[in-house]
Amino acid sequence: MRAVRPCFVVGIGGSAGGLAAYLALFDAMPCDTGMAFVIISHILPSSAHSLLADILLHHTKMTVQVAAAAMPILPDHVYVIPANTDLRMQDDAFNLDSPRTMNKQVDIFLTSLAAAMGPRAIAVIVSGYDGDGAEGCRHIKAKGGTTFAQDSTATVGEMPQSARATGCIDFVLPAAKIAQRLQGMSAVSS
| Cα–Cα distance, 50 to 77 (Å, whole number) | 15
Would you say residue 10 lies in a domain?
no
| Cα–Cα distance, 153 to 139 (Å, whole number) | 25
| Cα–Cα distance, 135 to 54 (Å, whole number) | 30
Burial class from Cβ neighbours inside 10 Å (0-12, 13-18, 19+) for residue 134 reads buried
Would you say residue 103 lies in a domain?
yes
Instruction: Give how many domains the chain has, as a whole number.
Output: 1
Domain span at residue 166?
22-116+127-189
Strands 9-14 and 36-41: parallel
Q: Which stretches of the chain drop beneath a pLDDT of 50?
A: 1-2
Cα 40 to its chain centre, rounded Å, is 6
3-state secondary structure of 81: coil
Would you say residue 16 lies in a domain?
no
Would you say residue 12 lies in a domain?
no
**Residues 62 and 32 sit within 8 Å (Cβ to Cβ):** no
- We report the CATH number of the domain holding residue 172 as 3.40.50.180
Q: What is the pLDDT of residue 190?
A: 61
Q: What is the pLDDT of residue 18?
A: 94
Would you say residue 122 lies in a domain?
no
Q: What is the pLDDT of residue 2?
A: 45
Would you say residue 11 lies in a domain?
no
Q: What is the pLDDT of residue 57?
A: 95
C-alpha triplet 108, 158, 131: angle, nearest 5°: 25
Would you say residue 8 lies in a domain?
no
Q: What is the pLDDT of residue 34?
A: 96
Query: What single letter denotes the amino acid at residue 33?
Result: T
Measuring CA to CA, which residue among 55, 46, 66, 68 is closest to residue 25?
A: 55
Q: What is the pLDDT of residue 67?
A: 96
Would you say residue 13 lies in a domain?
no
